[in-house]
Structure 1
Amino acid sequence: MGFSDKQLSDDEQVIYHLHTHVKALIVPVLVLLLLAAGVGFGLSALPDGELVGTVGRWAIVIVGAVILGVWVIWPFLTWLTTTYTITSERLITRQGIITRTGRDIPHTVINDVAYEMQLTDRILRCGTLVVSAASEQGQVRLHDVPRVHQVQLRLSELVREAHDLDERT
């Protein structure tokens, strides 16, 4: 899923268009593997042709489908629909499956750009980008940003350029 050029102004360019880090999908993949093994074992362990076997099979399939939806499909869709886009003029966040929410922060109102990394984040090269803006919301926390240090440096440069340009006019 790329970023639509229709959402950009005339001279605006996309610098980064990111999904949250793929680490968000580790648990869903593990659940999927365990679920497949569990459902397969459960279906094969029940007797054929008996009422208990038929009802048991339906119960296993229904419980498996619910677990699949809640622990695998929903987190995948959440990961897929959460995007962070940094353009030459603003920071754009979009998230949500059913209800979409978005936020656009011009570089000129950003005061500070920092990042936080836990030990696992350092191993996986991701982290939380903390953007302080001169607005009612204050700080915006972008979780699980891939290559967070590189993104933080580039966004800081863009903010500095926007402030320098703003001061000249």
Structure 2
Amino acid sequence: MPYPDRLLTDDEEVVRHLHPHGLTIFWPVVLFLLVVGGASFGAALVPPGPQQGMVRLGIVGLAGLLLVVLVVVPLLRWRTTHYVVTTHRLLFREGILARRGRDLGLSRITDVSYSQTLWERIVRSGTLTIETAGDGGATVLRQIPDSGGVQQLLAYMIEEDADRRAQEHAGYLRSDDDRPPADGWHSTAVL
């Protein structure tokens, strides 16, 4: 699903749209299988009798509650967490019911570094640390897929943004040189 265009400016384009690494949903999937298997096994073990239906209903209800807490919430949290690199900024959005977001202009980013444990190197994941000018502290993003590649992409995009801004500034200065002086008099050279 592409990032909504309504959140971008007119000349801004999405370069990369990421969610946390796919392994963050590994344990919810395992727990789904365990809860469904356990509930099925438990329901099959209920002895026949007048309370059999109520006990099975209780097992299904408990399994449903466990599935919501242990599976659905982590999956929704993964799905609603967005890390978006655009041509002008870096956007973070997260939250299921309550949302939280932050936008960092590429021109404000002073340093981007990444770190990986041995396991993260194997699964191509890691932690990005982003330092910005005039900010109270570093922004730390965990479980980023291909953290080394994202770090290199951000460094490249920061350079591209600086070049774009320099060209816009040079074009602005050039257009100022073409205007006549403010007093209306034109100087002419006399030889």
- Which residue of the partner structure matches residue 137 of structure 2? 138
Q: What RMSD in Å do the two structures reach over aligned CA positions? A: 1.6
Please state which structure has a larger fraction of its residues in strand.
Answer: 1
Which structure exhibits the higher relative contact order, with contacts defined as CA atoms closer than 8 Å and separated by 6 or more residues?
Answer: 1
Q: 2 CA distance for matches of 1:106 and 1:48?
A: 65
Counterpart position of 2:2: 2
Aligned to 2:29: 29
The runs of at least 4 aligned residues of structure 1 exceeding 4 Å deviation read 164-168
Post-superposition offset of 1:129: 1.1
Identify if the C-alpha distance between structure 1 residues 146 and 44 changes in structure 2 by more than 3 Å, giving closer, same or farther: same
Q: Distance in 2 between matches of 1:74 and 1:39?
A: 19
Alignment-derived partner of residue 118 in structure 1: 117
- Secondary structure of the corresponding residue to residue 10 of structure 1: coil
CA displacement at 1:160 relative to structure 2: 2.8
SS in 1 for 2:111: strand
- Superposition TM-score, scaled by structure 2 size: 0.82
Q: Secondary structure at the match of 2:98?
A: coil
Deviation at 1:105, TM superposition (A): 0.4
Matched with 2:42 is 42
**Structure 2 unaligned runs (5+)?**
170-191
- Distance in 1 (CA, whole Å) between partners of 2:131 and 2:113 is 8
* Alpha-carbon distance in structure 2 between the residues aligned to 1:141 and 1:19: 15
* Equivalent-residue separation in structure 2 for 1:133 and 1:166 (angstroms): 18
Deviations 1:84-106 (A, max 9, x none): 00001100000000001111100
Matches within 5 A, 1:7-22: 7-22=7-22
Report the number of matched residues: 168
Q: In the alignment, residue 160 of structure 2 is paired with which amino acid?
A: E
State how far apart, in whole Å, the 1-side matches of 2:87 and 2:145 are: 19
